Amino acid sequence: MEKKDLKPAGVFKYFEEICQVPRPSKKEEKMIAYLKAFGAKHNLETKVDEAGNVLIKKPATPGKENLQTVVLQSHIDMVCEKNNDVQHDFLTDPIETEIDGEWLKAKGTTLGADNGIGVATELAILADDSIEHGPLECLFTVDEETGLTGAFALQKGFM
């Protein structure tokens, strides 16, 4: 198996992209910028709160506007651990991924799939115009790994 064979393809495309963006807890600025650029590229309303949480809204498919809004949530930071024999700076270096049998793994570091795969899934849904849906809001919170800082900082009315 190769990376190009991973399914669903859209999810793994975005997972590979975010693996290129350093995102340690309390240092999520590059990931926030990536999400803002994603929202702009897809012409989606995007806002960032004081804590750094990002909300990207996608309007309902025509005819589905009266459905209840669905909110999807994931966190953008990751646990940063590496093997002793690996040179890696989590503030600047991308996560190098590889296929090992049927597994996607990182080379000598944590993979960041908690919760990078959630972020990638939300991005794939936002980018896919073939999915019929009601109003959709995707919330990306900061600093989950060291204290749920972003979740605790959410203000009424942000979503």
Q: Give the domain ranges of the chain.
A: 3-153
Each residue's pLDDT tens digit, 118-135: 999 999 999 999 999 999
Catalytic residues: 77, 144
Q: Is the peptide bond before 8 cis (omega within 30 degrees of 0)?
A: yes
Residue 15 confidence (pLDDT) above 90: yes
User: In the CATH hierarchy, which fold is given to the domain comprising 3-153?
Assistant: Aminopeptidase (3.40.630)
Give DSSP secondary structure letters for 44-109. -EEEE-TT--EEEEEPPPTT-TTSPPEEEEEE--B---B-TT----TTTPPPPEEEETTEEEESSB
Give the alpha-carbon dihedral of 75, 78, 79, 85, to 10 degrees: 170
Helix (H) or strand (E) run with residue 22 in it: none
Each residue's pLDDT tens digit, 104-119: 999 999 999 999 999 9
Nearest Cα residue to 23 out of 110, 98, 99: 110
Query: pLDDT averaged over the chain?
Result: 96
pLDDT of residue 89: 97
Distance CA 142, CA 156 (A): 17
